[in-house]
Structure formats: C-alpha cells, structure tokens
Amino acid sequence: MPVWVLVAVLMLGCVAAGGAETYDFAIPEAEPKNYEIGARLEARYLFHRYDTASAKYRLDRLQGDPGADAHEWHGVVEPMMSYRRGILKAALITHHEYVDDGVGTGTRDDVYEGYVSLTPSPRFTLDLGKRSVLWGKGYAWNPAGFVNRPRDPDDATQNLEGRVLAGVDLIRSFEGGRLANLGLTALALPVIDDWSNPELGADGDVNYALKLYLLWHDTDIDFIWFDGPGQPLSLGFDFSKNLAENIEIHGELAWRRDVLRTVVDPHGRIRFERADPVDYLLGLRYLNALDTTFILEYYHRGSGYDRGELEDLFAFQDAAVDRWQASGDTAEVERAQQVTRSYFSERNPGRDYGYLKVSRKEPFDLLDVTPWIALMASLQDGSFNVQPGLTWTPLTDLELNFRVAVPVGPADTEFGEKPDACRPEVWVRYYF
C-alpha cells in the first residue's frame, strides 16, 4: 500500500536525521545561497464513524450504501524550489496527492505556486504567476478575504493553492508620525479556461483586488476592494492591535453588493433573493502565565442561513428521502441533492458562529507535545463541533498530529446533521 510505504520511509528518514544532532556553535547557514530546494511529505489517515441519521448521510445513500464507517488515506508530496538572481526571483511549489477514501482511489497534481517576482527596491515589487493570497486578520474565518481560498483553522500550516495573478506591491515607511507604514497591493486575477481562477467567473473575465494597509497608532488597518464581471462588488476593512504584552485583538468587516442567495422552503420551493450582506468578525488572542493560548472569535455571516431557514431545508430533504425510500422514485431526492449542493459545499452555511481554541505547550512536563482543543459553535441553533487535538514534534522537522472531530447537536441543526458522528484523524509531516 503506497501510503504505508510513504509512512515507513518518512519514519526511517527522520530517525536517521535525528540521530546526527550535536551541540555545535558554528553557523554554516550564514553562507547565502541563490537557490533553495526542499519538500514536505505528509501521510494522513481519517476514520469516519457515520451518523446514519444525518441529513447528508441519508442523501448520499442515493449513490450507494456508504456503510457505518469508512477509512480514508492521503499521501502528499510537495516539492518547493526557488532561485534568485539580482532583483529577480522565481519560485515553484507543486502538490501531488494520492487519495484512497474507501470507495475509490485517485491522484491529484497541482501547481500551488509558480511565479516570477521583480523587486528593484524594497518599495516596489511586481509579481507574475500563481501565488498564495490570504487577506484578513481572523483565525477561523476571513470575511474580508474576498480572494482567499478556504483553509482549515486547526491545521493552519497546510499549503494552499495560489491564485493566478499579476500584482504590484508598493510600500512606504514614515518616521515620527502616527502613520508609520503604508502599503498598497493591487492584483489582476484573470479567468482563463479551467486553469486560472475558474472559481472567480467565466473564461475571459478579469477580476481586480486592492488592499491598502496602514500601520497607524500601532494598529494594523486594511481597506480591501474587490470587483469583477462575475463577482459582487465587495468592500472590506480589518484591524489588529496588541492591547498588552499578552493580549491581541482583531476584527474584520465586509460588505458585498447584490449577492444572490438561494433559500429553500419545507416543500422544496426555491426562492432567489438579492441582498447586500454585511459580515463581521471580532476576535482576541490571550496568553496566560501558564503558557496557555486562548483564541476566541465571533463571526456574523450576513448571507448565512438563519435557524428557521436551516430547519426548512432539512425538513424538505428529510421528506424527499422518506418518499424515495417509501416509493423507490429517485426524482425528488435527486432534486434535493441538487438544491442542497450549495449549502453542503459551504464550510459554515449558518449565520452566527463562535470559535474558541485553547492550546498549551508542553503541559505536565510532556516534552515537545502541544495539546489543544477547539470548539466551533453555531450560535443560532446551539449545535457545535468539539475537536481535541495533539501535536508532537519528537525530532527536528518531524511533526505528528492527532485530532478527533465530534459534531454535537440535535436533529435539524447545522452540526447535528453533519455526516460524521466522530472523525479521528492522524497525520505525520516531514520537512527537508
């Protein structure tokens, strides 16, 4: 099995590398190099214990009985290389993944980043190619990050696929005033076939994004603008500030014009609404004297479904599945799958959320171990996902992770209807 082979190779390589460590005052890394080559290897295993009464599980049975549980394997190789000469830099990160989800196997090969940068002075940089873009200050959500890819807040160091763009970055620094720094980032994001930003519009569209950054009164402030032929005009604002030596606060505010929203009633009738939703997020990070970090965030999603709308959607879906099981006619359940696709494609389709993550380095003299627990709650219906986890770094460049996701909530609630009753996950990562 390829994944087991990968794990074995990882472990052997790491043990060999770890055994060579010595106490040494020399710093050979001080010799500058024009190139960098490295890679990240990852092996990941997930076990799905299904909630057979959940909405998504019942709907997916149309494609065949998934059973009570499933095993899922991922093997990932991400080579990285860069070369710089004078004011020019070229970089490439590719992603190669093997997946075995218990039903079938597949591979995926993507260019995550591949770009050329021209930096004639620290005040000016020109980028061309595919680069990762991540804007906003939130940990769990970034409502003002209009061009961001979605990411897992509890595995934040995963590489993300970039955006194909042409970008300019201008920076100015000021002495003595309240305004210390000013930065302007301008991006053009073209849509070309299915390889360049296909999620952002139709072939030939060009989307534009601007971010104005200020360091003003020791506060980070961003003003963000995004627009395109197939995208709603979007305006965003975010901030971040240290209140004390161990407390940071942050927030985001986003407004989008004329966003299409699909609402389903209990009878399956679809209603299209156009709205100008406002999203916002407030958060803080606090480090206490016991070296425990707390991250707390509140997120309001203006275009999200409220409790009544979610109950209607689940009621329609349940009725469709019940009728299919009673009559054998698949027409209605197929329609239910189609209607609810946009709902299930969103990580958090609801309206109000809370997020709390508590992590502590090396508690109880457990060396190299960081346990954590994260809680994400839908505040409208009281359902939540609780996720304890553990990171162990026994050797340099080797990271072992474990976490268990447990969605909790009654029927017709967001987390109560998640397909997994419990999902343990373990992954090992090695860098070289």
Question: Residue numbers of the site for other proteins (CB under 8 A)?
Answer: 21, 23-25, 27, 29-30, 32, 36, 38, 84, 89, 117, 119, 121-123, 125, 132-137, 156-160, 169, 171-173, 175, 180-181, 183, 185, 213, 215, 218, 220, 240-242, 244-248, 250, 285, 287, 293, 361-362, 365, 367-368, 396-399, 429, 431-432
- Least distance from other proteins to the Cβ atom of residue 240, Å: 5
Could you tell me if residue 325 is left (phi over 0), alpha (psi between -120 and 50 degrees) or otherwise beta? alpha
What is the closest distance, in whole angstroms, from the C-beta atom of residue 209 to other proteins in the complex? Answer: 14
Residue 61 CB, shortest distance to other proteins, in Å, is: 37
Q: Which is nearer to other proteins, 211 or 418 (CB)?
A: 211
Instruction: Report which of 286, 301, 144 is spatially closest to residue 210, judged by C-alpha positions.
Output: 144
Smallest distance from other proteins to CB 56, Å: 30
Structure tokens at 363: 């508690």
Least distance from C-beta 167 to other proteins, angstroms?
11
Closest to other proteins by CB, 284 vs 319, is 284
Least Å distance, CB 432 to other proteins, is 5
- Given the complex with other proteins, which of 21 and 193 has the nearer CB atom? 21
Q: CB 193: neighbour CB atoms within 10 A?
A: 8
CA nearest 236: which of 278, 289, 205? Answer: 278
Choose between 151 and 418: whose C-beta lies nearer to other proteins. 151
> Which positions ≥6 away from 393 have C-beta within 8 Å?
368, 399, 400
Residue 160 vs 296, nearer CB to other proteins: 160
Task: Pick the closer one to other proteins by CB: 212 or 404.
Answer: 212
User: What are the distances in angstroms from CA 267 to CA 238, 271, 320?
Assistant: 40, 11, 9
Angstrom distances, CA of residue 393 to CA of 4, 17, 185, 277: 20, 14, 36, 43
Min CB(166)–other proteins separation in Å: 17
Closest CB to other proteins among residues 47, 239: 239
Strand partners, 167: 127, 187
**Residue number, 80 or 278, with CB nearest to other proteins:** 80
Q: How far is CA 260 from CA 127, 235, 272, 274, in A?
A: 33, 17, 7, 5
Minimum CB separation of residue 36 from other proteins in Å reads 8
Angle in degrees, CA 385, 427, 102, rounded to 5:
80
Task: Return the number of the residue (93 or 191) whose C-beta is nearest other proteins.
Answer: 93
Could you tell me the smallest distance in angstroms from the CB atom of residue 15 to other proteins?
A: 14
Q: Please identify, using beta-carbon distances, which residue of 53 and 366 lies nearer to other proteins.
A: 366
Contacts of 369 (CB under 8 A, 6+ apart): 362, 363, 390, 391, 392
Q: Using CB atoms within 10 Å of the CB of residue 105, give its burial: 0 to 12 exposed, 13 to 18 middle, 19+ buried.
A: exposed
Least distance from other proteins to the Cβ atom of residue 258, Å: 28
Of the pair 217, 274, the CB lying nearest other proteins is at 217
Q: Indicate the SS3 state at residue 320.
A: helix
Long-range contacts of 85-94 (CB under 8 A, 24+ apart): 85/34, 87/118, 87/119, 87/120, 88/116, 88/117, 88/118, 89/116, 89/117, 89/119, 90/115, 90/116, 90/117, 91/115, 91/117, 93/159
Q: Among 202, 209, 201, 205, which Cα is nearest to 226's?
A: 209
Degrees to nearest 5, angle at CA 416 with 410 and 422: 120
In the complex, the smallest distance separating the C-beta of residue 242 from other proteins, rounded to whole angstroms, is: 6
Using CA atoms, how far apart are residues 67 and 249, in angstroms rounded to an integer? 45
Q: How far apart are the first and last CA of the chain?
A: 23
Structure tokens at 63: 């494609």
